[in-house]
A and B are shown apart, each in its own frame.
Chain A
């Protein structure tokens, strides 16, 4: 266990309203630092234009809305989400299907639903949290032990539907994120490694079949990664330019706001998916590694929430969120430095994009929620997890909840 997991024992919570005193401050601090960092980088990558504050203002607005909603998410006991898992799952599928019907097309993909004056909304982002919640509930309801790969099939079916809908948009990257969430949560939930390996191998075998489903631009991007010399139409150009941008940052970088004039106009999507190339160029190796350090802190605290969670539902939900963010960071940064194909996955908290930012804020709120309602647990998890406190009290079994 890392040091972060085995810190000094936390004080025992007492009395109503005690929860907020239990907020995981390092996690909160890491989140604040990341979002602040993100706002600065969004400004840095978009300020050279007629409207220098256009993007950063929009991003700040989404952040404010996200934080307001996050306050509400913190106040409600997270176990309420578990009891609402079934309708959540259904509504989520409907939303994803709605995108395909009424969605707005951009760059050849249908990902957005127009919300009038509120701009547009990307249901596949929010769906990430919904999948974490519903899969955690599902894993709690079927706690195992999972003795064969067939016992994992219900969970595979659970994520297969949303993945198919996302694939239709088409949004390869987000579909992969769901896969990462699935693997992380099932692993933590007790699935056997060899069973997960079988499912992974099955997924790989599907690749040739999926190849026909992929849109041409996605095939081009994958091919450009596998064979940079084929480099069809600019997909490889983005990788080259991004590497040049990051590499030219050297140890200390060219200085904040100093990168945009030169190289960054060459990097496509440099305020969204490729924002790490701005970090790399302007803040250099030191700044890049510092950002990775912030992510490491966030992720370690997230894992700690999983260890202290009072029930299986909370623990697995925390693992799902951690897996999601870790995958985002690895794939996004990996793409920027030419290690990963271009999949269109944003850098959490940093990339410009309202839906993604709010999703990350809410995911953090869910983590904090789970963390602050922890219970000094025994060897076993709470045997009746995923049932809200209030309901139990109404049934007159409140003694179970006494600390």
Chain B
């Protein structure tokens, strides 16, 4: 290309550049000179107000699609810092009407210094009477904004509180990382449970209104409105009826209940008592009430089903039996003689009863301690720890909840490290029957029993099964893979299952029998330093094709057969409809443990 043509083209380029800059200059003339006064007025009076429309939070539903949470409309009172012309007058007045102190309101205003045009929520869910009074004096209160916002409604109050979780105002730190994902100052965000873990789905997307307002804050002209997008629907494996039955069966006692599908780990019921009412949090909990929950000696905020570490008592005999069977130390027809005690050197370990001559399966059924003490020494502490860990005891299950406890599986090395003491033969005996240092959570026990029921698969317990859009389009199906597969010989499984069945047919848990439903399980009565023993029952049903694992734990009450078995029975009845699938739900089960059980634990 010759230089002349090149220079011609450069001239065109220059003309284009000049034209572009000229267009910019004309535009500047237009908005700075022609319309300048208009913009100056807007600038000085800050007359554009932006309010966000809180998105309705997504529903949480049970396995049959019944909602566990909804949203209800409620009044929210906010202050707009830039419209607040007389804060010294308005703040005390608003505080008085809302039953707050002016200091509280001033503190809330100080939290968000960088966006003074955004309304700051002072109080959610303001009662109607207070609202009426505020509305009357609206003209004297410029800068006060009243909006109707959806508020989380937990339909069944404390039911499933620990698994559902609760809401709270987003913290400054969370806001920094989440702002780009549509979170705003003052938003409510899940602080625990499903609400927290699946917050990104449940939250939805806030909408927005931009309007021009007059000096009194009255809207003159709406500039734009973006409707909010509701949050996604989260479906749980929880069955509302089973959950209710479990909570009622546990009653006022302190403890936990787990019901889980042993085939894939779907949680059907998850109870921890005492609980709290998440509705109290839904609008921002008061500091005083929060403090009371936090310092309650019964620890209502603790989710005992996944965070409580308990000695397992005789439920641990499943592990000891597995170890003895796999090591070839015992088989189904090994005979034992139980004189009612076991001598370790000069020390005598007393069993609760003299069982006489019995084989291994009967030993499991009657929960004979002497047999397990006898097996404890040849199995040894290392093998007890090894087989415990094979069942993933001492490790979190990976359930979709926060702060799960891993429990403790002791061995000599552990004792030396933690207690600076050597391991005594007596420790081995205690461990073999689930006393001593072993600690496990009810959810871990549920997974252990599920592994026996399903042939060795260590399922990953999970609450959420599906997430779908508000329109019902499936977004996500959750089926976490098992954390492992245990290789157990067929014979071992057979003996374990025979033992657990015998527990129900003729052993320590005969009281659980439900017409038309075959049940297997193990009771436990865990001595502990806090008072009376913890009562355990862990089992599954039906025995041929197990579809439900139930674990019940009651703190400091007494025998497992007396206190835990009836709870498991109620749960099974609710889940299986008195053994007839599809039948209407049964009348409440007979209260208590039917008869005093002297063959425990």
Contact = CB atoms under 8 A, between A and B. Distances in A.
Interface of A: 1-2, 5, 106-108, 143-145, 184, 187-190, 228-234, 236-237, 240-241, 243-251, 262-263, 265-266, 280-281, 284-285, 288-289, 292, 295-296, 299-300, 303, 306-307, 315, 319, 322-323, 326, 329-330, 333-334, 337-339, 377-381
Given A262-B43, A265-B116, A379-B3, A247 B10 contact: no
B24 A233 contact: no
Contact of A250 (B11, B36, B208, B226): B36
B39 A330 contact: no
20 contacts: A1-B7, A2-B14, A5-B14, A106-B180, A188-B13, A236-B210, A240-B210, A240-B223, A246-B31, A248-B39, A250-B40, A284-B32, A299-B14, A300-B17, A303-B10, A319-B13, A330-B23, A330-B24, A378-B3, A379-B4
B177 to A, nearest CB: 11
Contact of A228 (B10, B43, B117, B224): B224
Given A188-B6, A251-B32, A265-B116, A233 B38 contact: no
A34 B153 CA distance: 58
B17 A326 contact: yes
B224 A285 contact: no
A241 B25 contact: no
B223 A247 contact: no
Contacts of A144: 1
A322 B17 contact: yes
A371 B21 CA distance: 24
B136 interface: no
Given A281-B43, A292-B24, A322-B13, 16 more contacts: A5-B14, A187-B12, A188-B13, A231-B210, A231-B223, A237-B210, A243-B31, A246-B31, A248-B40, A250-B37, A251-B32, A251-B33, A251-B36, A319-B13, A330-B23, A381-B3
Interface string B141-185: 000000000000000000000000000000000000000111000
Contact of A296 (B21, B33, B182): B21
B28 interface: yes
B473 interface: no
Contacts of A319: 10, 13
Contacts of B414: none
A232 B226 contact: yes
B2 interface: yes
Contacts of A232: 208, 226
- 6 nearest CB pairs, A to B: A247-B39, A231-B224, A248-B43, A247-B31, A190-B1, A248-B40
Chain B: interface size category: 35 or more
B21 A247 contact: no
Nearest to B52: A233
Given A303-B10, A319-B10, A246 B32 contact: yes
Nearest to A217: B180
Contact of A339 (B13, B27, B116): B27
B32 A303 contact: no
Nearest to A4: B14
Given A187-B9, A230-B224, A250-B36, A337 B3 contact: no
A315 B48 contact: no
A247 B44 contact: no
B28 A280 contact: yes
A307 B5 CA distance: 11
Interface string B193-226: 0000000000001101010000000000001101
Contacts of B27: 334, 337, 339
A70 B441 CA distance: 66
A22 to B, nearest CB: 20
A236 B20 CA distance: 23
B99 interface: no
Nearest to A262: B43
Contacts of A326: 16-17, 20
Nearest to A2: B14
Given A145-B1, A188-B13, A319-B13, A246 B28 contact: yes
Given A2-B14, A107-B180, A265-B116, A379 B36 contact: no
A24 to B, nearest CB: 16
Contacts of B21: 292, 295-296, 329-330
B13 A187 contact: yes
Contacts of A188: 6, 9-10, 13
Contact of B6 (A247, A265, A315): A315
A263 B20 contact: no
A237 B50 contact: yes
A108 B10 contact: no
Nearest to B5: A190
B224 A236 contact: yes
Nearest to B12: A187
B5 A285 contact: no
A89 B28 CA distance: 39
Contact of A380 (B3, B42, B48): B3
Nearest to A266: B117
A247 B20 contact: no
Contacts of A307: 6-7, 10
B1 A337 contact: no
Contacts of A241: 48
B24 A337 contact: yes
A247 B114 contact: no
A212 B48 CA distance: 33
B251 interface: no
B18 interface: yes
A379 B1 contact: no
B29 interface: yes
A337 B31 contact: yes
Contact of A333 (B11, B12, B24, B50): B24
Contacts of A2: 11, 14
Contacts of A246: 28, 31-32, 39
Contacts of A143: 1
A264 to B, nearest CB: 10
A303 B14 contact: yes
Given A251-B33, A339-B27, A108 B180 contact: yes
Given A231-B224, A237-B50, A307-B10, A247 B24 contact: no
Nearest to A293: B21
A378 B6 CA distance: 13
Contacts of B210: 231, 236-237, 240
B35 interface: yes
A306 B12 CA distance: 13
Nearest to B226: A232
Contacts of A381: 3
A145 B6 CA distance: 12
B8 to A, nearest CB: 9
Contacts of A229: 223-224
Contact of A230 (B44, B180, B181, B226): B226
A292 B25 contact: yes
A396 B13 CA distance: 39
Contact of A289 (B1, B3, B28, B40): B28
A288 B28 contact: yes
A247 B40 contact: yes
Contact of B3 (A108, A295, A300, A377): A377
B480 to A, nearest CB: 27
A249 B50 contact: no
B22 to A, nearest CB: 9
A381 B210 CA distance: 59
Nearest to B48: A240
A274 to B, nearest CB: 15
A243 B13 contact: no
Contact of B33 (A187, A228, A250): A250
